[in-house]
Structure 1
Amino acid sequence: MQSGLKKTKSWIVEFQFDSTLKKDVLMGWNSSNNTNKQIKLSFPNLDDAKSWCLKNNLSYEVEDQSYKSLKPKSYSSNFSSARRTSWTH
C-alpha cells in the first residue's frame, strides 16, 4: 500500500459529534436522527471554509494542521538486516 499526498491540501468542515446515539435492539448498531455527522465538506483554502461557515451562521473551530514527516528510504530497506520487524507479503 502506498501513502500518497494527493488529497491532503484541502480544508474540511465537519459538524460536531452529537452524543444522542441509540442502540438498535435487533442488530446492536448505533443510530441517530442527526445525519450531520456524515457530512464532510472540503474547501481549497481556509478562507473559503470560514466564509461558508459564516454565510450559513455556523460557529467554527480551526484545528492546527498536522504534517506527516517522511523518511526517505529505498526499496532495498525492506530487506535490510537492521529492520526491526519482518517484511511480510
Structure 2
Amino acid sequence: MPTARIYRRPKNAMSSGRANTQNWVLEFEPVEAKRADPLTGWAGSGDTRQQVKLEFPSAEAALAYAEREGIEAHVIPAPERKLKLQAYADNFR
C-alpha cells in the first residue's frame, strides 16, 4: 500500500507574498533511495510516484481522496503564523 504525507506549503522565505500557501499538498513518500546516474551524475530513481504532487483546498479533502484510493496518508499540521509586530520607530531605539 502506498504511503503519502499531506501538508501545507510554508511561505517562501525569499518573498513577503503568501501565494500557493492556502492549498494542501498530497505527496507520496519515496519507496527507493535515489542513486547517481553513472553517465550524467544526476540523482534519480525508478520510483515515479515521487513526481506526483496533488493539491487540495483542505486537509479533509486530501484525506478523503487518500482513503478513496487506498493510500495510507498522515497529515503534517500547518505551522502557526507568528507575527512580529513592531513600529518603524523601533529601528532607531
Quick check: TM above 0.5? yes
Give 1 or 2: higher strand fraction: 2
Identical columns (%): 29
- Determine the structure 2 residue equivalent to 1:14: 27
Alignment-derived partner of residue 66 in structure 1 = 79
Give unmatched runs, 5+ long, in structure 1. Answer: 83-89
Q: Larger C-alpha radius of gyration, 1 or 2?
A: 1
What residue in structure 2 maps to residue 37 of structure 1?
50
Give the letter aligned to residue 37 of structure 1. Q
Distance 1:6 1:27 in 2: 35
1:3 is displaced (CA, Å) by 2.2
- Structure 2, unmatched stretches of 5+, are 1-13
CA displacement, residues 6-51 of structure 1 (integer Å, 9 cap, x when unaligned):
3212111000023332211122111111111111111001111011
RMSD: 2.3
> How far apart, CA to CA, are the structure 2 residues paired with 1:35 and 1:76?
53
**1:57 matches 2:70:** yes
How many correspondences in the alignment? 80
1:12 counterpart SS class: strand
TM-score, length-normalised on structure 2?
Answer: 0.68
TM-score, normalising length: structure 1: 0.71
Counterpart in the other structure of 2:59? 46
Q: Distance in 1 between matches of 2:47 and 2:66?
A: 19
Q: In the aligned structure 1, how far is the partner of 2:37 from the partner of 2:56? A: 35
Structure with more relative contact order (C-alpha pairs < 8 Å, separation 6 or more)? 2
